[in-house]
Amino acid sequence: MLFCFASFLALKEFLDVQKLTFIGPLEKLSLSALVLSHYTFIFLEWKNFFLFIVPVMTYIYLPFIMLSRRKIDGLIQNLWSTQSGLMLCVYSLSVAPGLLFLNIHPSEVRRIDPVVAFLFLFLVTELNDVFQFISGKLFGRRKLVVEISPNKTVAGFVGGLIMTSFLSLILAPVMLDLNAWQSLLVGFCIALSGVSGDLMFSSIKRTVGVKDFSRLIPGHGGVLDRLDSIVFTAPTLYGLKYLFLYVASK
């Protein structure tokens, strides 16, 4: 339920900063029902519904709801923004608790504790930010993408990739039952996707001209300001771990 609430808040923040004109009572009701249904399927461990309900509703039925207003001006921008918000703030973020589905697998040989996988995700994602900060402070000279995130440096980015990969090499064999090359790959991809998420949401804030998505957490911004990396690292870990389990069962 915690992530369901977080998705509600994150989606609200995402849509509020863009001041969309097509989000009325009907759209809000539809979005709320979709979020609740999505997390209900996670709770019930209905994997097929969990994986498909948001993409199907977002890209097939949401356009119909918005077109029912019979307006064209601003439709595409509003539709794309809402679809992006659903995919990022609801679908991608929900993959973190969706890690429990990794045990719904034909092979009983390699099963993982979803709580341990969840802890691994948060630990590696957060430490990646720390590694980037330390590397940037010690060796940073050249900016990575100064127009989007002035504080990020090339050295911080590279240092984060290297140190996060080796952290995963230490933790993943124990926590996720991965071999050495799989552990390195997971660490590298989580580091890369974490930076991608950070830059993605930073670019959105700069585009709409805000510093934070909200003031919900004093001194830290909103839910999206705290979970921007997790939105990208959770699907990365889920996809890689499921691939390794599937390959291992063959």
Give me the pLDDT at residue 249, please. 52
pLDDT-derived band at 77, boundaries 50, 70, 90: confident
Is 110 a residue whose pLDDT tops 70? no
Burial track 66-81 (b if 16+ CB lie within 10 A, e otherwise): beeeeeeeeeeebbeb
What tokens does 56 get? 């199907």
Cβ partners under 8 Å of residue 137, min gap 6: 156
Mean pLDDT across the stretch 101-110? 54
Is 104 a residue whose pLDDT tops 60? no
Is 25 a residue whose pLDDT tops 90? no
Whether the CB-CB separation of 80 and 74 falls below 8 Å is answered with: no
Is 164 a residue whose pLDDT tops 50? yes
Give me the pLDDT at residue 51, please. 81
Distance CA 112, CA 43 (A): 18
Within 10 angstroms of residue 37's Cβ, the number of other Cβ atoms is 14
Mean pLDDT over each residue of the chain, to the nearest integer: 86
pLDDT one-digit tens code per residue, 178-208? 899 999 999 999 999 999 999 999 999 888 8
Is 106 a residue whose pLDDT tops 60? no
Q: What does the domain layout of the chain look like in residue ranges? A: 1-94, 110-250
In the three-class reduction of DSSP (H, G, I as helix; E, B as strand; rest coil), residue 221 is classed as strand
What distances in angstroms separate CA 235 from CA 88, 91, 92, 98, 121, one per listed residue?
10, 9, 6, 9, 10
Distance CA 163, CA 169 (A): 10
Mean pLDDT across the stretch 219-226? 86
Within 10 angstroms of residue 96's Cβ, the number of other Cβ atoms is 23
What distances in angstroms separate CA 28 from CA 72, 187, 214, one per listed residue?
19, 38, 19
Is 107 a residue whose pLDDT tops 60? no
Give the count of alpha carbons within 13 A of 149, CB side only: 20
Task: Give this prediction's pTM.
Answer: 0.88
What tokens does 112 get? 């993982």
